[in-house]
Every structure is written in C-alpha cells, then in structure tokens.
C-alpha cells in the first residue's frame, strides 16, 4: 500500500513537472492553437467509435442470448456452469458497449450540430449522427429485450434510479457485492484522479488557445461537487 502511495505521488509530481515545462515552453514560444480545426476530426472519430460499439453491442448481446438458450437446454452440470458464466459475461459486455454507443453518438451529434450552426459546414456528419441516434434506440431496445430474456427482469426504456436499483437488487449476492465494490472504485478514481486530470488538461488547452476555458472548468467543477454532495442522502439515511 505504501509503495502504491509513493508511486501515485511520484506520477503526480512527474505529470505536474511535464505539464509545467510544456506550458512554459508554449508561453515562451507564443504558440497559438485553433481548436476549430480539430472539430471535424472529433465528430468523425466519435461516429466511427459509435459504429464499432454498435457492432460490438449486437455481437455480445446475441452471444448472451445464444448461451441462454444453451443453458436452458443443457443437462450436464459442468457445461451448464460454463453457459451460465458466458451468458452473463456477454450480457455485461454488451451493456458496456451499449453505454459507449450512447455517449459517442450523442457526442458526435452535438459536435456536428454545433459545426452546422456556427461554422456552417459538416451537414453530412450531422445527418450521419442523426442516423446514429436512430440506431442507438435500436441498440437500447435490443439490450432491454436481452436483459428481459437472460435476467427475467423488465427494465423500462427510460429507467429511473429506483428502477435500476431494483434491477441491481435482482442480482445474486456475489454479483451485487462485486458490483458495489466496482462502483466504489469508479467513484473513487473519478473523484481523486480523473477529474483532477481534467483540470490539468483544460489548463493546457487554455494556454495553447490563449483563451480561458471557463465553461469547461465550471462543468468539471460542477460534476466534482455533485458526486460529493450526493453522498449526503446516504449519510442521512444510514446515520439517523
């Protein structure tokens, strides 16, 4: 544990040192950077990633359904265990891929919409992004149907937090515990590492563009504060 802490502090120091050198050199050389030139690249890359994620989502979910059928028909205990693991494994991979489809498709759509409104170009990217949104609904419907088949749980298309909590509570005890531990790791890393890294990244962009990325900094700060304030209901609930 001490080695991990020392390694973390060392990496933090190295990152800060490199960032400082990079920013100082950029200021000394008077480097200017135009993010507008990268906008089409971002929207196109998001669309490509969305397409790859769509293919992966359908592949994993189809495999999950296939293993579910085999699990229902197989009598051999050893094979049944294998099918059981693969059935849920592919379902979870399919869920992750579906979530990535949602993020990348929306990102491509809003970037391309901004291009059209402000720059007056990338109409083709906007149309493709809109088609991507249609495919997103298809992927989500296929995911929910697969969940209904595999987990015997009907999850609403527009689920509320309570719906998702009920869904997680339908897991077996070991899976719930693993899900809880992973959720804690994600929240901790987001709170302690990822968001701090974003502050540094936005600062670098501000230096390169010679413009203070105030909205981006505020957005990260709002998320940072939000995930901490959302601990209050838990404290009130369990420490009455």
Cβ proximity of 152 and 70 under 8 Å: no
Mean pLDDT of the chain: 80
pLDDT in tens, 166-190: 888 888 888 888 888 888 888 888 8
- What is the Cβ-side half-sphere exposure of residue 182, based on CA atoms within 13 angstroms? 6
What are 59-114's pLDDT values in tens digits? Answer: 999 999 999 988 887 666 677 788 888 998 999 999 999 999 998 999 888 888 88
Specify burial of residue 160 (Cβ count, 10 A radius: 0-12, 13-18, 19+): exposed
What pLDDT shows up at residue 118?
78
Per-residue pLDDT reduced to its tens digit, 29-56: 545 556 666 677 888 888 889 999 999 9
* pLDDT band, residue 208 (cuts 50/70/90): confident
């Amino acid at each position: 544990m001490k080695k991990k802490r020392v390694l973390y502090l060392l990496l933090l120091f190295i990152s800060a040192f490199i960032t400082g050198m990079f920013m100082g050199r950029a200021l000394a050389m008077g480097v200017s950077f135009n993010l507008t030139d990268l906008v089409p690249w971002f929207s196109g890359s998001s669309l490509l990633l969305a397409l790859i994620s769509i293919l992966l989502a359908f592949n994993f979910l189809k495999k999950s359904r296939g293993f579910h059928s085999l699990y229902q028909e197989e009598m051999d205990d050893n094979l049944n265990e294998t099918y059981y693991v693969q059935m849920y494994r592919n379902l979870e991979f399919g869920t992750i891929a579906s979530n990535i489809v949602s993020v990348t498709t929306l990102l491509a759509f809003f970037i391309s919409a901004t291009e059209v409104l402000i720059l007056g170009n990338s109409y083709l990217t906007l149309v493709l992004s809109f088609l991507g949104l249609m495919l997103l609904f298809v992927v989500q419907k296929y995911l929910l149907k697969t969940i209904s088949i595999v987990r015997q749980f009907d999850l609403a298309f527009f689920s509320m937090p309570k719906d998702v909590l009920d869904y997680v509570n339908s897991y077996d005890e070991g899976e719930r515990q693993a899900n809880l531990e992973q959720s804690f790791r994600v929240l901790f890393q987001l709170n302690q590492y990822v968001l701090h890294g974003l502050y540094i990244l936005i600062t670098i962009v501000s230096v390169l563009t010679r413009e203070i990325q105030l909205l981006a900094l505020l957005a990260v700060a709002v998320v940072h504060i939000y995930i901490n304030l959302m601990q209050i209901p838990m404290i009130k609930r369990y420490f009455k």
